[in-house]
Amino acid sequence: MPDGAPTFSAAEYERRWRAIQSEMAMRGQDAILLTSAADVFYVTGFLTRFWESPARPWFVILPSAGAPLAVIPDIGRDLMQGCQVGEIRSWPAPRPGDDGVSLLADTLSDLLPETGTIGLPMGPETSLRMPLADYLVLTRALAPRRFVDATDTVQRVREIKSDVEIDAIRATCRCADAAFDRVPEIVVGAGRLDEVFRRFQIALLEEGADWVSYVAGGAGPGGYGNVIAPAEAAPLRDGDLLMLDTGAVKDGYFCDFDRNYAIGRADDDLRRVYDGLYRATEAALSALRPGMTARDAHELLTAGLRRAGLVSAGGRLGHGLGVTLTEWPSFTSLDETPLRENMVLTLEPGAVVSEGRIMVHEEDVVLRAGGPELLSRRAPPELPVIRR
């Protein structure tokens, strides 16, 4: 493949454009404006870690038919040229006073009549990746054209994965499967939690991840306090429960699952909670079907925890997954999003072990007509013990 060329065929991107354009037509949106790394990658294949730099905004417009237009900093032109995109307009960013705003306004004005409606994702799980002050200038420059919420327009398409996307997520999960297999040897070789985190990231890369966008975890006697902390430079001790959670990336697609390990010995409390989480997940793996809602998935997992006599650790019990570490929907009691065939989802029940100590279990699946198909290799049915 040439430098930065998309992993997928032109046909895959054309399918995506048409699917979004069909949603746009249904909702009366004449074009949509995309500003996030994930949305831009989704419609063009433009993949770079350069989004890490907050210096420059990037814009992609999908018109009502045909290929997207890119309005981007000059520095991205060479890479964008290899992507699935029509016209590319660029400016020498960063440019104080007019950082692409007039070029973007002109492009949208050329494209849309004054009665035109521009869809912009502005709802849950979105954010506008451009300076807010520039957005306000843009809305004035484009008036009487109107910006409307295009969250559903994008999410209803992105949430259903194609075969090549499912294969990509499965490939990323394989890297994490292999890295998790190596955790016992890593723990034996590394006494401290920060060393474990470091070597686990190395294992993910060695097993084929392109990069590691997310590692979190925790360790402590009888569980951990939270699931989002970076590593502390503290020794692992016998009796600790260790959890590692990763969002590795391969070809732009994430995995997101965790594994738990008992250090030295597994106390009864930990075994009991692990078993309950495992069985709650099994129940969801066998009962989840397209046509249910995110709320139903939450209820399935909650019922599983209840049957095991466990108290939920709270928060959502699973979510979507794909070109970002987490995607909608959220398995909560309030999320009515319908679950549909070929959604990629995580099942993530968590339970309280004791006051302030929790355990969380996570698997990645694709929802098929007949139920979930695992993308992560199923966690072992009993809490693994790492003896040093």
Considering only residues 62 to 91 of the shown chain, the ones binding a second copy according to CB under 8 A are 73-79
By CB under 8 A, residue 155 contacts a second copy:
no
For a second copy, the closer of residues 15 and 90 by Cβ is 90
For a second copy, the closer of residues 247 and 283 by Cβ is 247
Which of 125, 350, 376, 383 is CA-nearest to residue 226?
Answer: 350
For a second copy, the closer of residues 129 and 170 by Cβ is 129
What are the tokens at 80? 């964008």
* Beta strand 318-320 pairing with 327-330: antiparallel
Q: Which of 9, 226, 286, 354 binds a second copy (CB under 8 A)?
A: 226
Q: Which of 94, 113, 191, 309 binds a second copy (CB under 8 A)?
A: 94
By CB under 8 A, residue 92 contacts a second copy:
yes
What are the tokens at 195? 């060393």
Evaluated on CA atoms 311, 316, 320, 324, the torsion sign reads negative
Which of 189, 192, 214 is CA-nearest to residue 201?
Answer: 214
DSSP string of 27-45, one letter each residue: HT-SEEEE-SHHHHHHHH-
* CB contact burial 314-327 (16+ within 10 A = b; e otherwise): eebbbbbbbbbbbb
Whether 221 and 59 have beta carbons less than 8 Å apart is answered as no
CA distances from 42 to 13, 159, 181, 242 (A): 8, 11, 31, 35
For a second copy, the closer of residues 103 and 283 by Cβ is 103
By CB under 8 A, residue 48 contacts a second copy:
yes
Whether 261 and 183 have beta carbons less than 8 Å apart is answered as yes
Residue ranges in 338-377 that form contacts with a second copy under rule CB under 8 A: 356
By CB under 8 A, residue 172 contacts a second copy:
no
By CB under 8 A, residue 314 contacts a second copy:
yes
Q: Which of 332, 338, 341, 377 binds a second copy (CB under 8 A)?
A: 332
Amino acid occupying residue 305: L
For a second copy, the closer of residues 283 and 337 by Cβ is 337
Q: Which of 20, 32, 34, 47 binds a second copy (CB under 8 A)?
A: 47
Q: In whole angstroms, what separates CA 368 from the centre of its chain?
A: 19
Least distance CB 214 / a second copy (angstroms): 5
Residue ranges in 21-40 that form contacts with a second copy under rule CB under 8 A: 36, 38
Least distance CB 66 / a second copy (angstroms): 26
Which of 98, 159, 94 is CA-nearest to residue 124?
Answer: 159
**Rg (Cα) of the chain, in Å, rounded?**
23
For a second copy, the closer of residues 21 and 36 by Cβ is 36
For a second copy, the closer of residues 3 and 268 by Cβ is 3
What are the tokens at 12? 């895959």
For a second copy, the closer of residues 137 and 385 by Cβ is 137
Stretch that binds a second copy, among 220-228, 236-244, 275-283, 379-387 (CB under 8 A): 220-228
Q: Which of 23, 30, 99, 296 binds a second copy (CB under 8 A)?
A: 99
What are the tokens at 141? 């420059």
Whether 92 and 66 have beta carbons less than 8 Å apart is answered as no
Q: Which of 11, 18, 25, 53 binds a second copy (CB under 8 A)?
A: 53
What are the tokens at 90? 């660029």
Helix (H/G/I), strand (E/B), else coil: 270: helix
Stretch that binds a second copy, among 284-292, 320-328, 364-372, 377-385 (CB under 8 A): 320-328
Q: State residue 225 phi and psi, 5-degree precision.
A: -85, -30
By CB under 8 A, residue 198 contacts a second copy:
yes
Stretch that binds a second copy, among 10-18, 263-271, 274-282, 316-324 (CB under 8 A): 316-324
Stretch that binds a second copy, among 232-240, 264-272, 274-282, 303-311 (CB under 8 A): 232-240
By CB under 8 A, residue 59 contacts a second copy:
no
By CB under 8 A, residue 292 contacts a second copy:
no
Stretch that binds a second copy, among 45-53, 62-70, 181-189, 298-306 (CB under 8 A): 45-53
By CB under 8 A, residue 132 contacts a second copy:
yes
Residue ranges in 240-259 that form contacts with a second copy under rule CB under 8 A: 247
Q: State residue 383 phi and psi, 5-degree precision.
A: -55, 115
Q: State residue 193 phi and psi, 5-degree precision.
A: -60, -40
